[in-house]
Amino acid sequence: MQPNNRVFVIGVGMTKFLKPREGNPDYPELAKQATLRALRDAGIPYSKVEQAAVGYCYADTAAGQRALYTVGITGIPIINVNNACATGSTALYYAYSVIKSGQADCTLALGFDKMAPGSLQTGYTDRANPFGPLIEKMNSIRPDNSKAPFAPKIFGSAGIEHMQKYGTKESHFAKVAYKNHLHSVNNPYSQFRDKYTLEQIEKSPKIFGPLTKLQCCPTSDGAACAVLCSEKFLKENKLEDQAVEICGMLLRTDPPTTYSANSLMNVAGYDMSKKTAELLYKQTGIKPQDCQVVELHDCFSANELITYEAIGLCPEGKAGEWIDK
């Protein structure tokens, strides 16, 4: 029988997130700050960490080693992760899996990035674009010659499909952004802490489909870190009072319907999110209605809206009504 250890988060830390510009701290400094804060929160030295996973999208190979060497050089395995918007959660998944399988009792997941100003761009023009098949599928369903960046085009197209299928209004997407900007006002780590009215969000420059500028996430410099441990480590170090258990964690990629179904929402990840959530609810015995707080990826307001339905927070086609309530 394979080990099936319980896994706990015992410390977290992050930096303030900054608008990319010259003069910002370099990534080793950002990574060091987040890691030291997480270790301080956990109350353990770096020497007790047995493995680490480091996620980033905009740095050279082995940047994870360069980042963590600012904290200590101990010879532990350091796994570098680059997985688009899922990079941080993939690093956390690796750190979780190592403990779950019994390979280690204390691991660390770190994420950082130093990005370029403006919309996301692909790094190489002389080789296949990783998102090429998705973009081709999107264009085959809804041809578009606009010069909008590819990311808001993918998620904006999903928003258009939701409006056409279910009668969702542009105001529903704007309300998602209004809520999220309101959260930032009280968060000292947020890049932007401005309070916007719903009208300001709706009337900001149009980017693509229902998406206005204030419904699109900005590029950012920053870092975050989490320290994980097993139940054995927890008890040996008397850390029970600060521990938060990870009841379940699952990582999946595109199902066949991403490409076989003519759905812009599936291109944006609807089916992938739905299947992953269903499997995780089954594994844990937890239902979406049991959750009191949800932290949901909000790269674009349209992504958040369709994911409400994908993970079962409301019935399919009812996200607009749910937001209004």
DSSP for 153-210, written as a single string = HHHHHHHHHHHHHH---HHHHHHHHHHHHHHHHT-TT-S------HHHHHHSPEEETT
110-124, 184-198, 200-214, 306-320: range with lowest mean pLDDT: 110-124
Query: Which of 312, 311, 306, 298 has the alpha carbon at shortest distance from 320?
Result: 306
CB 181 within 8 A of CB 217: no
Give the strand pairing for 78-81 and 51-55: parallel
CB 112 within 8 A of CB 67: yes
The pLDDT tens digits for 224-254 are 999 999 999 999 999 999 999 999 999 999 9
Q: Residue 230: which H helix or E strand, with range?
A: strand 222-230
pLDDT band at 118 (very low <50, low <70, confident <90, very high): confident
In the prediction, which pLDDT does 2 show?
Answer: 63
Close Cβ partners of 294 (under 8 Å, ≥ 6 residues apart): 311, 313
* Lookup: tokens for 266: 């599936």
Q: Provide the mean pLDDT of the chain.
A: 96
Q: What percent of the chain has pLDDT over 70?
A: 99
- pTM confidence score: 0.94
> Would you say residue 110 has pLDDT above 90?
yes
The residue type of 104 is A
118: left (phi over 0), alpha (psi -120 to 50) or beta: left
Q: Which helix (H) or strand (E) holds 14?
A: strand 7-14
pLDDT score for 231: 98
The CA distance from 154 to 264, in Å, is 8
Domains of the chain (ranges; CATH) run 7-117+219-245 (3.40.47.10), 132-218+288-324 (no CATH)
Q: What is the DSSP letter of 300?
A: B
pLDDT bracket for residue 202 (50, 70, 90): very high
Looking at residue 87, what is its pLDDT? 97
The dihedral built from the CA positions of residue 55, 61, 63 and 68, taken in this order, carries a sign that is: positive
pLDDT of residue 1: 38
Per-residue pLDDT band at 259 (split at 50, 70, 90) = very high
Instruction: Say how far apart CA 317 and CA 160 lie, in whole Å.
Output: 13
Give the pLDDT confidence of 47-101 residue by residue, as tens digits. 999 999 999 999 999 999 999 999 999 999 999 999 999 999 999 999 999 999 9
**Angstrom distance (rounded) from CA 254 to CA 265:** 12
Arithmetic mean of pLDDT, 314-323: 97
Which pLDDT score, from 0 to 100, does residue 170 have?
98
Nearest to 53 by CA among 10, 85, 96: 96
